[in-house]
Chain A
Amino acid sequence: METINNYLENMFASLPNTEEMRKLKEELLSNMEEKYHELKRDGKTENEAIGIVISEFGNIDELIHEFDIPVDKNEEELPTIITDKEVNNYLEASEKFGKVIGIGVFMCIIASAQLVLISQLVEDNVIVGVSEQAGSIIGLVPFFILIAIAVGLFIYSGMKMEKYKYIEDGVEVTSNTKTYLRQKNEAFQSTFTISLIIGVALCILSPIILFITSIYSDGASVYGVVALLCMVAVAVYIFVYYGTIRDSYKKLLRIDEFSKYKQEENRIIGAVASIIWPLAVVIFLISGLVFNQWHINWIVFPITGLLFAMFSGAYSILKEKH
């Protein structure tokens, strides 16, 4: 009996909740119940009776058509049903995308770390025969090479993901695939949590090295900065890589944040990111090249990171209120 009620509820779930529909649903339910009781009286088993009642229900589209029910617009726009093959291709591509973007970001951070490292090595006379001025300059060569490779990776992987854009716009998967994805997602959840813990731990622990080294000397603290940046780079790689995999499940299962609304929000945060990060690089380069502040100017990156995190966090919260 519960089954019949649930079945009817599901059938009516997509229909507007109007007086007319409620009345219709009630009528149908009492009909179906009566049919069910009579079948049971005729000696049918519970399952048989329910099976017959449901098989004789018909097609909800007939009612939608007859009652001139406006079909939910969203429903009409969204569902492009994609195949299992597309789903798997997308998951694979997302994982690769996460890896490549992660490596790119890692390289960007390492680029500034080696810049700091080389200028300090020159200062400490570990690298000999180079003036301090030249020391800060030679670090720039690998710096730019690394940044260039990273940018190349961003563009390349971005283009590769372009063909999956339709998935990001919202697609529907069959219920079988959905179940399969849910299971995979749940299995992945623990991996994700562990990666998150490791990443956060690395971030929190990274300043400790800085403190320890700064006890010895100013020079040593610079090496501490290098170690800090390396740890942060590893943490960021972990965040990006596992985060991308998680997002791919979320997109396919259309969990919370990939609603139209959130997409809009991501777009604005993305636009801000595309302005402030290059700006940070410009500040970094000018303060270094013109004012020769290489020993301290790396700080613009963590500061930018913090400011950006503050902005995107605050923006999300403010937006959510409306």
Chain B
Amino acid sequence: MISSDVIRGYNDTIILYMLLDNESYGYEISKKIKELSDEKYIIKETTLYSAFNRLEKNGYIESFYKQETFGKRRTYYRITKAGTDYYKEKCVEWEVTKQVINRFIKEVN
């Protein structure tokens, strides 16, 4: 299990990734994050919704209602053009970060 402190700066990136190919909703996103990370990262409810709020305010995602079966209404999210651009930026940033951090990583006996 990864501590949420380490991953904090990349929650937005993770969520945007989930929305790249298709729109989705809260629980589905958190479930997929759990699966894709081999259950090593479970995003907290509050973290997820803080991120949704932040991303929407910045115009990176849009929310809309979708009627589900049994008349249940769900809030779905889709990524915007700005969101995709931001995602690309974050990927570049991560590559650099990874290289930098790797400089300081070595086996210690």
Contact = CB atoms under 8 A, between A and B. Distances in A.
Interface of A: 24, 27-28, 30-32, 34-35, 38, 56-60, 62-63, 65-67
B94 interface: no
Nearest to B29: A31
B5 to A, nearest CB: 12
A28 B49 contact: yes
A60 B30 CA distance: 17
B45 A31 contact: yes
Given A27-B75, A30-B72, A66-B54, A57 B27 contact: no
15 contacts: A28-B45, A28-B49, A30-B26, A35-B27, A56-B45, A57-B44, A58-B46, A59-B44, A59-B46, A62-B44, A63-B46, A65-B50, A66-B49, A66-B50, A66-B54
A66 B53 contact: yes
Contacts of A65: 50
Given A27-B49, A66-B54, A56 B44 contact: yes
Contacts of B49: 24, 27-28, 63, 66
Given A63-B50, A66-B54, A67-B53, A31 B27 contact: yes
A62 B46 contact: yes
Interface of B: 26-27, 30-31, 42, 44-47, 49-50, 53-54, 72, 74-75
Q: Which label, helix, strand, loop or mixed, suits the secondary structure of the B interface? A: helix
A58 B47 contact: yes
Contacts of B75: 27
Nearest to A60: B46
Nearest to A59: B46
A67 to B, nearest CB: 6
A58 B44 CA distance: 5
Most chain-A CB neighbours within 10 Å: which of B26, B42, B74? B26
Nearest to B72: A30
Nearest to A28: B45
Given A30-B72, A30-B74, A31-B26, A56 B42 contact: yes
